[in-house]
Amino acid sequence: MAGVKTDSGTITYREAVAEGIAREMRRDPTVICLGEDIGPAGGVFKTTAGLFEEFGPQRIWDTPISEQAIVGAAMGAAMTGIRPVAEIMFSDFLACCWDYLANEIPKVRYMTGGQVTVPLVIRTANGGGLGFGAQHSQAVENWALAIPGLKIVAPSTPADVIGLMASAIRSDDPVVFFEHKGLFASKGPRPPEGHHVELGRAAVVREGTDVTLLALASTVHTALAAADRLAEDGISAEVVDLRCLIPMDLTTVLASVAKTSRLVTVEENPYQAGWGATVVSVVVDEGFHLLDAPVRRVASANVPLPFADALENEVMPTADKVVAAVRSVANF
């Protein structure tokens, strides 16, 4: 049968996107997809490959290049109980339909006193490192963090893509689902049918005792690489994958900091107004007594992301930068 591949064993992050959507579409006929090139083309990143063949044009809607219509129509359909999964091809293009993310979708439930909910997902390819230039490479998860009413998901592994996609689609609240472009080719175990990961549950992906590295999506892998290097120096780093920015699992963050007494955030969004600033403000507010050293934030530089490899690498967080940040606080 044509459709989404269902081999057992391993799965790529890219395949996991289509698999995660397909699993929900099979169990819930109200789930539909809208977006540019998502149908026969299979998605510009092939993240929707097989969906059109399996579910057909009444559930997989190819749209014109009309971001406002895509996201606004998803909202309109969602108000009637449909569960749309709308794709905005690159997260940079969220700016083209920001009115719907900032003014319409997150507010309608509140402004109507709960008369309607908008159970929709906006999926988008986020992040840099691929030389796509300043308008196709940004990590913009912090944009969404400025808006009460949205939930924000950014998985780091194929299993989490599937598990969080299930929860995002089933959520009665609007979810912005950031898929990282740099992770599409990465592989991991294929989770069993029925796998889902609750929104707002961070994962301790490496245990440690000396410092907490708090990361999201691509930077989970950066932090893990840094943790390997730090182990060679005798520094035991705990790596926490935040998974979601809203709901934000501050309980797990504070518990980790209680253990390690040191915190370094590893963020791909720019340092200015990056998500780490929000986390750190809470840690300082509620967990100041837990800390033995200043908190460090490793984030992208406050510049538009440049094209040239050497420049782009300089802007983005790297394992080297994380190692340096940890060393700066290790013996404080």
Supply the angle between the helices 319-330 and 218-232 in degrees, to the nearest 10: 50
136 is catalytic: yes
Q: Which is nearer to another protein, 69 or 204 (CB)?
A: 69
Q: Is 146 in the site for another protein (CB under 8 A)?
A: no
CA distance 282 to 288: 9
Yes or no: say if 220 and 241 are a contact pair by the CB < 8 Å rule. Answer: yes
In the list 149, 195, 229, 293, the residue contacting another protein (rule: CB under 8 A) is 149
204-223 positions binding another protein, by CB under 8 A: none
Q: Is 98 in the site for another protein (CB under 8 A)?
A: no
Q: How far is the CB of 189 from another protein (least distance, A)?
A: 22
42-61 positions binding another protein, by CB under 8 A: 58, 61
Size of the site for another protein (CB under 8 A): 46
In the list 196, 221, 262, 296, the residue contacting another protein (rule: CB under 8 A) is 196
Q: Is 87 in the site for another protein (CB under 8 A)?
A: no
Q: How far is the CB of 109 from another protein (least distance, A)?
A: 5
Catalytic pick among 136, 180, 196, 221:
136
11-40 positions binding another protein, by CB under 8 A: 28, 32
Q: Is 273 in the site for another protein (CB under 8 A)?
A: no
Q: How far is the CB of 26 from another protein (least distance, A)?
A: 15
Q: How far is the CB of 76 from another protein (least distance, A)?
A: 2
Residue 226's closest CA among 292, 298, 154, 157? Answer: 298
17's tokens: 């996107």
Residue 118's closest CA among 154, 151, 147? Answer: 151
Q: Is 63 in the site for another protein (CB under 8 A)?
A: yes
Q: How far is the CB of 172 from another protein (least distance, A)?
A: 4
In the list 4, 22, 49, 78, the residue contacting another protein (rule: CB under 8 A) is 78
Indicate the DSSP class of residue 266.
E
Q: How far is the CB of 232 from another protein (least distance, A)?
A: 42
H helix count then E strand count, the chain: 12, 14
Q: Which is nearer to another protein, 78 or 257 (CB)?
A: 78
Query: In the chain, where do the E strands start and end?
Result: 10-12, 31-35, 60-62, 83-90, 121-126, 151-153, 175-180, 187-189, 203-206, 211-215, 237-241, 244-246, 263-270, 296-300
**Any residues with CB less than 8 A from the CB of 142 and at least 6 apart, and which?**
267, 269, 270, 273, 274, 275
Q: Is 72 in the site for another protein (CB under 8 A)?
A: yes
Residue 277's closest CA among 110, 153, 142? Answer: 142
Interface residue list for another protein (CB under 8 A): 28, 32, 58, 61, 63-64, 66, 68-69, 71-82, 84, 99-100, 103-104, 108-117, 119, 148-149, 151, 167, 170-173, 196
Catalytic residues: 67, 136
